[in-house]
Amino acid sequence: MSESRALPTSFGELEVLAVGTVLLVEALTGLSLNSLTILSFCKTPELRTPSHLLVLSLAVADSGISLNALVAAISSLLRRWPYGSDGCQAHGFQGFVMALASICSSAAIAWGRYHHHCTRNQLAWNTAVFLVFFVWVSSVFWAALPLLGWGHYDYEPLGTCCTLDYSSGDRNFISFLFTMAFFNFLLPLFITLISYQLMEQKLRKTGHPQVNTTLPARTLLLGWGPYALLYLYAVIADVALLSPKLQMVPALIAKMVPTVNAVHYGLGSEMVQKGVWQCFSPQRSEQDRAR
């Protein structure tokens, strides 16, 4: 890979500007909303519970995705990749770690909510810490494998961001893809679906108010499903037959996930909303300084 990546001829100036603008909006929105969630956890003692630790893990992962999108947005607006081949590898690795951590944290939250609603036992701190530790160690492990030769990071079709290379479709890519997808997409999706289905059945029997048990699984499926379909297509056909513009769609969709997650898991919670209000309330600030 060259030190400075030029834009492919299939993208016009206006199209590159549009992609950069969309990425910038997604990055700033995701960073802002997830930063509010993280800040509320840090400033509000009531939120320091095992179950909310899982939400905090998700917010950190989604903030990382938004930072990754910010780098891609800046590169798109510059109309070139200025960080060289090492920068591409680092960008791909960081983005992959955060994406996997986001997916697995969503599954951990689903299991934690099932545990709370169906067993009526509070999630223990040691269990929550273990889940967070496992999610992040597992994500780093799988994202490091392409750096070690199983899989490979390369430029997206636009040439201003990097991801898992799917253009070759060789045996190395296929073996890594199916193994990684099973443990980091299909299994978390299954856990999320089953956990919320069991929780919904329990809530119906007990007559508790209904909660939205379908949005988390839909977010995983709609947010990361297009990437899965693109990778699957690369396995069974020549991905070069797809328009480079069409190949960029999954990346743009995936960068919206942090905003959706922040609204649903973080700012959609009344307790987190209260925490955000307390963080920015002048009265709250005066009380904190008086302590």
What does the pLDDT look like over 211-264, one tens digit per residue? 667 889 999 999 999 999 999 999 998 888 899 899 999 999 999 999 999 998
Is pLDDT at 286 greater than 50 in this prediction? no
Going by pLDDT thresholds of 50, 70 and 90, the confidence category of residue 1 is very low
What is the token pair recorded at 275? 């925490």
Task: Report how far apart the first and last C-alpha atoms of the chain are (Å, whole number).
Answer: 56
pTM of the predicted model, to two decimals? 0.90
> Tell me, what's the pLDDT at 43?
79
Question: What value does the mean pLDDT take over residues 168-195?
Answer: 93
C-alpha to C-alpha distance for 39 and 27, rounded to whole angstroms: 18
Label the pairing between strands 5-6 and 80-81: antiparallel
Nearest CA-CA partner of 234 in 149, 152, 168, 280: 168
Say whether 4 sits in a helix, a strand or coil. Answer: coil
What is the token pair recorded at 280? 């920015």
**Mean pLDDT, the chain, integer:** 87
Q: Is the model more confident about 162 or about 204?
A: 162
* The CATH number of domain 13-283 is 1.20.1070.10: yes
Least confident of 91-95, 107-111, 114-118, 179-183: 114-118
